[in-house]
């Protein structure tokens, strides 16, 4: 009996550590996406505001912290990594305020034209999500094995709520930009079909009582993971179709579809898989 309890305790500890590492991967993908995307976009904007260097610094630190966390098998929160992730989330909030100001200060204020061509409101949201998921991973590591919690809620449900909110926010940004592109390719509808189902599945975990296997959510999270990877290929094709193709990469990377954007869906889906595993454990 004692041996069985010990084995169950070891399984729970391994589950929490695996979930934390999934969150590290998610934060790493999001931070890497922010680093590449903001680097290109802010370079195109000639870094005319000094604050435009902040997301590059914070996303770089978040990438380093996430890689370090993924290699760490210690079941305890790392203070420095946690501080980096929290600071990244704060930088994301500040960036959202800056981008909102950039949109509203233009002639016409909060209009479709300014939403299309002003600073993208959803871009800093990815840095906020990277920091939030990284910080969640540090807290999952330090959770008690028997009752893992985040923000006073069961860890699986709390994380599922964060993933659902992240998918909805990312969906809004993608929908706006693909609408601006007039959905010129049929595949541009895919991000408006698959992620909403995954978001609903995550929200259902967050709002419902614990129960056994969450196969539906797992399937749609995996589909969303694949969608992000396929999206990179489509965006690369979009760059190739610009004048000069990849031979003119220095110009077409600036004007073509953003290569680092689709992995945001993959990152959130990976976090969704961690939430699903924790939610299934809570139902035992």
Residue 10: pLDDT band (50, 70, 90) is low
Q: Taking residues 158-172, what's their average pLDDT? A: 96
Q: Specify the DSSP element, H or E, that contains 242.
A: none
Q: Distance (Å, rounded) from C-alpha 212 to C-alpha 268?
A: 22
In percent, how much of the chain has pLDDT > 70? 95
Q: Taking residues 259-267, what's their average pLDDT? A: 96
Please tell me the predicted confidence (pLDDT) of residue 3.
Answer: 46
H-only helix segments in 148-192: 155-180
Q: Distance (Å, rounded) from C-alpha 245 to C-alpha 250?
A: 10
Q: 226 pLDDT exceeds 90? A: yes
Q: pTM of this prediction? A: 0.93
Per-residue CA distances from 189 to 163, 230, 282 (Å): 21, 13, 35
Please tell me the predicted confidence (pLDDT) of residue 238.
Answer: 93
Answer whether 278's CB lies under 8 Å from 156's CB: yes
Q: Specify the DSSP element, H or E, that contains 149.
A: strand 149-150
Please tell me the predicted confidence (pLDDT) of residue 261.
Answer: 94
Domain that holds residue 11: 2-282
Phi/psi at 184 (5° precision): -65, -15
Answer whether 262's CB lies under 8 Å from 239's CB: no
Of the candidates 184, 181, 170, 176, the one whose C-alpha atom is nearest the C-alpha of residue 133 is 170
Domain count of the fold of the chain: 1
Q: Identify the bridge partners of residue 149 per DSSP, sorted by sequence position.
A: 154
Q: Distance (Å, rounded) from C-alpha 23 to C-alpha 105?
A: 37
Lowest mean pLDDT among 80-94, 136-150, 162-176, 269-283: 136-150
In percent, how much of the chain has pLDDT > 90? 79
Q: Distance (Å, rounded) from C-alpha 145 to C-alpha 243?
A: 56
* pLDDT tens digits, one per residue of 126-153: 999 999 999 999 999 988 777 788 988 8
- Reported for 229-235, long-range contacts at CB under 8 A and 24+ positions apart, including other chains, are 229/262, 229/263, 229/266, 230/190, 230/262, 231/190, 231/191, 231/261, 231/262, 231/263, 231/265, 232/259, 232/262, 232/263, 234/185, 234/187, 234/262, 235/259, 235/261, 235/262
Q: Distance (Å, rounded) from C-alpha 176 to C-alpha 173?
A: 5
Average pLDDT, the chain: 92
């Amino acid at each position: 009996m004692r041996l069985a309890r010990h084995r169950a305790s070891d399984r729970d500890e391994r589950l929490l550590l695996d979930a934390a590492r999934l969150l590290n991967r998610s934060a790493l993908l999001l931070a890497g996406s922010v680093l590449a995307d903001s680097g290109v976009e802010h370079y195109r904007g000639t870094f005319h505001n000094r604050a435009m260097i902040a997301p590059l610094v914070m996303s770089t630190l978040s990438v380093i912290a996430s890689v370090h966390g993924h290699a760490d098998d210690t079941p305890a929160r790392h203070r420095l990594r946690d501080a980096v992730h929290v600071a990244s989330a704060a930088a994301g909030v500040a960036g959202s305020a800056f981008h909102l100001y950039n949109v509203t200060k233009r002639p016409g204020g909060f209009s479709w034209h300014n939403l299309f061509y002003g600073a993208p409101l959803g871009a800093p949201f990815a840095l906020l999500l990277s920091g939030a998921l990284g910080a969640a991973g540090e807290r999952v590591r330090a959770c008690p094995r028997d009752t893992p919690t985040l923000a006073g809620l069961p860890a699986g449900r709390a994380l599922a709520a964060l993933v659902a909110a992240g998918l909805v926010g990312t969906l809004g940004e993608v929908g706006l930009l693909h609408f601006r592109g007039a959905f010129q390719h049929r595949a541009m509808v895919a991000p408006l079909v698959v992620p909403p189902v995954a978001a609903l599945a995550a929200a259902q975990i967050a709002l419902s009582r614990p129960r056994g296997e969450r196969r539906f959510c797992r399937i749609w999270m995996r589909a969303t993971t694949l969608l992000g990877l396929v999206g990179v290929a489509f965006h690369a094709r979009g760059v190739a179709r610009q004048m000069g193709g990849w031979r003119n990469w220095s110009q077409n990377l600036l004007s073509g579809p953003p290569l680092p954007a689709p992995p945001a869906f993959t990152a959130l889906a990976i976090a969704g898989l961690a939430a699903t595993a924790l939610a299934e454990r809570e139902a035992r």
